[in-house]
Structure 1
Amino acid sequence: MEVADEGSTDLEAVSSEAESSDVAATAPADAKSAPENRATDGPFDSDEANPARPYVDLGGVKILPREGLQLRLEVEEGTQRVVAVGLDFAGSTLQVQAFAAPRSTGLWNDIRAQIRDQITGQGGTLVEQVGVFGPELVAEVPAPGPDGTPVLRLARFVGVDGPRWFLRGVIAGDAMQNEASRAAVEELFRSVVVVRGGSPMPPRDLIPLTIPKSSAAI
């Protein structure tokens, strides 16, 4: 999990910009969570994406290139498996991961609770709110600073349940405090295409990612 913002933060100030998520907190754990306009505005299923657009194909996800976007692949040290896509854009970072999910139920409500437990167990703090993608978490996550001294870094966890997949995003950097950067990163997350494929996969398995044939610098 990457949270790369080096600046000081104010969790309450950020959380005040979105609605309270009392309704989301009481939703069934297996209910799908996605914007009503997901199929038309994204994040997209591979069957919904415009085939004429010049996506960077990473296997399980496709990324739409744009000026100023830098793409990184995050690799698991032991297995050398690509486990996440890191996107640097608008002074911010966006990490995306896509997982297999059941056809009729969602994962985000349950996974959100697990993230909440993990962060609080590490001594972090968080608020749950409703944003443009639905229920989300804004957290102050303990992390080592440049000199090794522990600091709290601000990160936003968003998630969308699609058809047979779940897409998670972790946002950090300027998008946590700057409205223009936030809108740019949200649009970037919406433009992601998930390629679930037709092979059977257990729910919560990471949809395989591959190294693109083109350069990772966009």
Structure 2
Amino acid sequence: MIFSRKRAAGRHAPDEQVAEVPEGVEPAPARGPYDVTEAPDGVQRLDLGSLQIPAVPDVEVRVQADPQGVVQQVVLVHGQSALQLGVFAAPRSEGIWGEVREEIRQSLFADGATVEEVAGEYGTELHARVRTDDGPTDLRFVGIDGPRWMVRAVYQGEAATRPAAAGPLAHCLDGLVVDRGVEAKPVREPLPLRLPREAGEAAAQAGQADAASAPGAR
């Protein structure tokens, strides 16, 4: 099952949101990804459970799920670029991106990819060129450590080789909200994602329609 949503440009784009911070209240960070406890209000987001993705004009959100509705992959697409998102549990005491990054680097290198570490907006990134059936493909791995979570973002296409081309996709990453939950989870375990409510309702209706039209249903 694949759910896809595209936000068209309109009057209320996310970059037009302006929120006043009440006196005595700590302002939210100027840039995300945000923990759900500090996310700014007044922003339209697609709720996938542990991840809430801001609605950005002309960005298509593609969500792939199994028949039970468990989300397996989240990819944002804009033009010739794509951004794959994942979110994982992390310890309270320290971030894990440095450790995860080294494991990704070693795995890519073992597969024959060329890999280099590059300073990016969120810290050290991995830039890789991997071999695929369609020829060489460029990837850019970005990791962001938060309070008891880590977001892993992988850019593909033009945004992988030219960060300035990420544009709206980078805006989505900056505005991402993580809802870690309070349950104890093993470090690095993927945080649970789910289909949006409207997609789940559509899937249920489709299932009922299939059952009604099946032989012997009447």
TM range (shorter): 0.7 to 0.9
Q: What is residue 120 of structure 2 aligned with on the other side? A: 131
Deviations 1:175-203, CA, capped at 9 Å, x for gaps: 13456522432222111111101111111
Say yes or no: does 1:172 pair with 2:156.
yes
Q: TM-score, normalised by structure 2?
A: 0.73
**Are the aligned partners of 1:83 and 1:97 in contact in 2 as well (CA < 8 Å)?**
no
**Are the aligned partners of 2:60 and 2:76 in contact in 1 as well (CA < 8 Å)?**
yes
Which letter maps to 1:161?
D
Say yes or no: does 1:58 pair with 2:48.
yes
| Matching residue within 151, 158, 179 for 2:142 | 158
Q: TM-score, normalised by structure 1?
A: 0.73
| Matching residue within 193, 196, 201 for 2:177 | 193
Q: What is residue 30 of structure 1 aligned with on the other side? A: none
* Higher RCO (CA < 8 A, seq sep 6+): 1
Aligned length: 173
Q: How far apart in 1 are the matches of 2:51 and 2:141?
A: 18
Q: Secondary structure at the match of 1:118?
A: helix
Say yes or no: does 1:116 pair with 2:105.
yes
Q: How far apart in 2 are the matches of 1:208 and 1:87?
A: 18
Question: What is the percentage of aligned positions where both structures have the same residue?
Answer: 34
Deviations 1:133-180, CA, capped at 9 Å, x for gaps: 1011000011111xxxxx210000000000010000000112134565
Which letter maps to 1:209?
L
Q: What is residue 182 of structure 1 aligned with on the other side? A: 166
Q: In structure 2, do the counterparts of structure 1 residues 118 and 138 end up closer, same or farther at CA, with 3 Å as the change threshold?
A: same
**Are the aligned partners of 1:75 and 1:84 in contact in 2 as well (CA < 8 Å)?**
yes
Which letter maps to 1:101?
A
Q: How far apart in 1 are the matches of 2:116 and 2:107?
A: 14
Structure whose CA Rg is larger: 2
More deviation in 62-71 or 156-165? Answer: 62-71
